[in-house]
Homo-oligomer: A and B are copies of this chain.
Amino acid sequence: MEKDLSGEYTFKVLPFEVDFRGKLTLPHLTNYILNTAGYHAEECGFGILAINQSNHSWVLSRLVIEMTVYPKHYEKIRIQTWVENVMRMFTMRNFAFLDKDGKVLGYARTIWAMIDQATRKPLDLVHTNISDFFCNKECPIPKSGKIPTLDGDPKETFTIKYSDIDINQHFNSSKYVEHIVDAFTLHKFEKRDIRRFEIEFIAEGKFNETIYLHKQESRDNEFVIELKNENQHTICKSKTWFGERTD
C-alpha cells in the first residue's frame, strides 16, 4: 500500500471570520489555505522557516477556489492538502475542504514559486526533494485559466496600509482577496455565493502605494477584477463566479 503523503488539518470557524450571513469569508478561507500549506510544508521539511535559512522563501503565484458549501461560525472545517506536481519554476499544491462528517465542501488549487529573498528571482525546483511528496489524489476542479487585462477607468482606489503588509514586507495574499471581495455589495451576497474564484499574483504591492481597482462583469455574474499600481503595472488579476445562494 502506498504511503499517504497528504496532510489534514482542522480549523474551527471563529465569529470574526464569518460575514453578515454567518458564512466563512473568502479572505479567511485563504488564510486557512495558507496556514494549511505552511503546516504541511513544514512537516515535509520545506516549510518557510526551513528554507528561510538558505534565504529562500515561498511566493504564492496562483490560487483557484471552488466552494459548494461554506462552513458557518463555530463549525469545523477539515482541510486536506497534497503536492500534485513540480515544474522547473513552480510547484502545484491542492486542497480538499470537508465538513466534520467528511462531506466535501469544495476544493482549491495553488501554484507556488520559491524565490531568492535577496534577488526576488524564482529558483529551479527540479533538484529539490519536493517530488518525493507527490500524491496521486484527485482534485476535480479545473485549473486556472487566462484572465483578461482590463482597460478603462478604475472603479475605486485604496492605499496599502500597515495591516496589509506581511512579515515579508509585502502586501499579504489574503488581503488582496479581501480588497477584491469588498468590491461587491451586501446585496450581491444576500442573493448569491461565490462558487469559483481565481487569482493570479503578478507583482508585489508595497506600503503606501495607491492601488487602482478595475472591475468588469465579463458575463452575467462573472467578474474580472484587476489591481494596478501607480505606474499602471498589474499587481494581480482575478475572476469571481457567483451562483445562486444555497441556504
Contact = CB atoms under 8 A, between A and B. Distances in A.
A85 interface: no
> Number of copies of this chain in the oligomer?
2
Given A165-B186, A181-B163, A35 B19 contact: no
Contacts of A38: 15
A31 B19 contact: no
Contacts of A164: 182
Contact of A19 (B20, B22, B73, B167): B167
Contacts of A186: 162, 165, 207-208
A227 to B, nearest CB: 15
Nearest to A27: B163
B163 A178 contact: yes
A18 interface: yes
Interface size class, chain A: 35 or more
A34 interface: yes
Contacts of A126: none
A133 B186 CA distance: 39
Interface string A139-176: 00000000000000000000001111111010010100
A189 interface: yes
Interface in A24-48: 25, 27, 31, 34-35, 38, 48
Given A19-B165, A163-B178, A165-B186, 11 more contacts: A15-B34, A15-B35, A15-B167, A16-B31, A16-B174, A21-B167, A49-B74, A162-B181, A162-B184, A164-B182, A186-B208
